[in-house]
Amino acid sequence: MLTLYDNPFSPFARKVRMALGWKGVPFRSIDALALDERQRLLDVNPRAEVPVLVDGDVVVADSSDIAAYLDDRFPSPPLLPASPALRAKARRWQRIADTAFDAIVHDLSLWSWPTHRRTDAPPAGLLDAGRRDLAKLLAALDDALGATGFLCGGVSIAELALFPHVSSLKLVGATLDGFPKVLRWNRDVRALPVVRADLEHVKRSAFEKFAAGASPYEAEKVVWRGDRIEWVLANGYAEWFHTELASGRAVVPRPV
Ligand SMILES: N[C@@H](CCC(=O)N[C@@H](CS)C(=O)NCC(=O)O)C(=O)O
């Protein structure tokens, strides 16, 4: 059976779990961001990031690489549409989800997500800058959608990559109001059985991991991947980020 180095709250792991569910592929899940699983995660991914998929001797890290592997290994139903133009569109929205949406939601959620035990206030203007940029992304998504249906015809990897971020917008004080096609799309996506199962899993895991007392995750140090750093730099928070690095609260993944 396939093993997924997983985490119930990682948007990238959620994308892969939904892709596996979409294809009906059974898998074993390890919550690999739990501190007591760290060495096992490092053994399959020196960057110590989830998700990682292990299929016999094959080890695939990175959610987009995993999605492509799943389409090769289990072609039906596909995660990409048939036409080259729509395939390019689906990959583009997957990339926007993984880079732009993820960076902003992550950077803003440091002060609201229960894993982080931050008692300080966010640097001045950071939350507003994030909500402004999220509104720009949602406007672009609204433009890309039609009156009915999904982004690229049928359900594709674009929906599975975008949804985890869209479902976290409330947490960072952003809203879908003013984006009528995104609101309609969000309702349709939420009605999909794999998405309902994902939301259930996140809700149940939040209760299990956080309500019972001490969380199993790192509380102080935040791992900053490239796009997440890029967004703070682009918005003028280089000095703040430097302080985070100097204090040891910010760490970067090892490339190899
Ligand atoms: N490009 C990677 C990004 C994966 C990623 O950033 N994973 C985060 C969780 S959302 C992680 O494992 N961070 C390490 C940590 O928080 O310790 C992908 O698409 O899978």
Query: What is the percent of the chain with per-residue pLDDT over 90, rounded to a whole number?
Result: 93
Helical (H) or strand (E) element with 74: none
What pLDDT is attached to residue 254? Answer: 87
Q: Are 210 and 203 in contact (CB under 8 A)?
A: no
What pLDDT is attached to residue 117? Answer: 82
Average pLDDT value over all residues in the chain: 96
Q: Are 151 and 185 in contact (CB under 8 A)?
A: yes
Q: Is the CB of 157 under 6 A from ligand 1?
A: no
Q: Where in the chain is the domain with CATH 1.20.1050.10?
A: 84-211
* Omega prior to 51 cis, within 30 of 0: yes
pLDDT, mean of residues 180-199: 98
Name the pLDDT band for 242 (thresholds 50, 70, 90): very high
Q: Report the separation in Å between the CA atom of 10 and the middle of ligand 1, taken as the mean of its atom positions.
A: 7
Q: Out of 3.40.47.10, 1.20.1050.10, 2.40.160.20, 1.10.150.20, select the CATH number for domain 84-211.
A: 1.20.1050.10
Q: Where in the chain is the domain with CATH 3.40.30.10?
A: 2-73
Which has the minimum average pLDDT: 164-178, 202-216, 226-240? 202-216
Distances (CA, A) of 133 to 63, 83, 100, 224, 234: 24, 31, 9, 19, 11
Burial call 185-214: b when 16+ CB within 10 Å, e when fewer: bbeebeebebbeebeebbeeeeeebbeeee
| Closest approach atom of ligand 1 to CA 32 | 12
What are the pLDDT digits (tens) for 76-108? 999 999 999 999 999 999 999 999 999 999 999
The domain covering 2-73 belongs, at the CATH homologous superfamily level, to Glutaredoxin (3.40.30.10)
Using the predicted structure, report yes or no on whether residue 256 has a pLDDT greater than 90: no
Mutate to test the pocket of ligand 1, among 5, 9, 12 (most ligand atoms within 8 A of CB): 12
What pLDDT is attached to residue 124? Answer: 97
Q: Which residue intervals of the chain are DSSP H helices?
A: 11-23, 38-44, 63-73, 84-96, 102-109, 126-144, 157-166, 180-190, 193-206, 226-234, 238-247
How far is C-alpha 114 from the chain's CA centre? 16
What pLDDT is attached to residue 64? Answer: 98
What are the pLDDT digits (tens) for 114-169? 888 888 999 999 999 999 999 999 999 999 999 999 999 999 999 999 999 999 99
The answer, as to whether pTM is greater than 0.95, is yes
Q: Report the separation in Å between the CA atom of 47 and the middle of ligand 1, taken as the mean of its atom positions.
A: 9
What pLDDT is attached to residue 98? Answer: 98
Residue 151: HSE in the Cβ half-sphere, 13 Å Cα cutoff: 30
